[in-house]
Structure 1
Amino acid sequence: MKLAPPGVPSPQPGESILGTPLDPQLAAIYRRLGAAEFWDLALHGLTSDEDGLIPRNEWLRRRGQVQYRASLVFGWKPGFAFYYGTVPQLANSRGIQPVIYIQAMEALFAVPIASSVDRFFQLYSHYLERLVRNPGYVGSGIPDVTFPWDMADLIGQDAALMRQLHAGRFDFLTDNQRDALEWLQELRALHP
């Protein structure tokens, strides 16, 4: 695990970042720490280098795809084009934004994984618990559990996320990719 100190000044909830309001839960995280790495999750710091929150999002948004334009990417899986971002346009009345997983390796699409940043980190902690209890991982060090795909049962318990999912609020992010559509169908079946 690697942690960097928080940036100065610390961002405020609702502060405009690239023209969209910063999620209050994400702002709280950035008030406590800067860039970070936890196993296979890295958080963009509030720095001006290429992996900083704003430069990275500017670079991604220049690509023009809706998955990047509609989100604020705050994290990624090191070594892969797998990203985690909030979706400001889907914020609730308190400004809390859902979190999506953006897959950009073979095909580009995004799928919902949590109704909030707090729920995202809860889900990730449950993933780590499953990982270390998995006999295959314990014996070989190679994960048999993948995030977020093997966490559908817990994602389906996120009532706020499921309401948005059933309302079709995330459909515009799938780009009609088969994997994304199957994921949405699986989640909808878990919580009809």
Structure 2
Amino acid sequence: MAASSFITRQYLSENFVESCGAVCFDLSVATEKKVCLIHYPKKGEWLLAKGRRDQGESRKNAALREVLEETGYSCHLLPVTMATRATPKDGPANLRDVPRVYPNLTDPFMFTLREIDGGSSVKVIWWYIASLDGNPSASRLPGEDNFSAEFFPCEEAIEKLTFQSDREVLRRAMTLVEESTA
């Protein structure tokens, strides 16, 4: 049997968890884009909305559901122009495996891989870009009791986020939104 030349790690279903999240932008004022953060007062943390995917649920639906559950805000995936290695929907499947830039994508723009349980398991977080449905002051439903949600100007949100990995996710999302709405 031949061995692959690629570094490969495989995990059984009991050793990985899939989470999905979305960076939710308020684009109602073109001159000042804002982003929704959640505050977790118990730990004093500011975070991006994300959570575990339910059985049988699509990643996209999980990301939107988690934003709604944690923030109380309904949103939709925001199409952006970005590079991806995915093959085009109606294109040939045998394209060379290199990044290509496509417009109007609502696919994940990033994923985070975290080792958990001392490295015996992993958490994969799929990140999407979303835009708020409606006005943030008028369209909020009750969110989870553990969190409070607030919109901040993008640069302020970067400073407010507790974790560097969330700052990296937000910076990339900001770049994609800027390039796609310019």
TM band (smaller chain): under 0.3
Greater helix proportion: 1
Higher Rg: 2
Task: Give the TM-score, by structure 1 length.
Answer: 0.27
Q: Structure 2 length as normaliser, TM-score?
A: 0.28
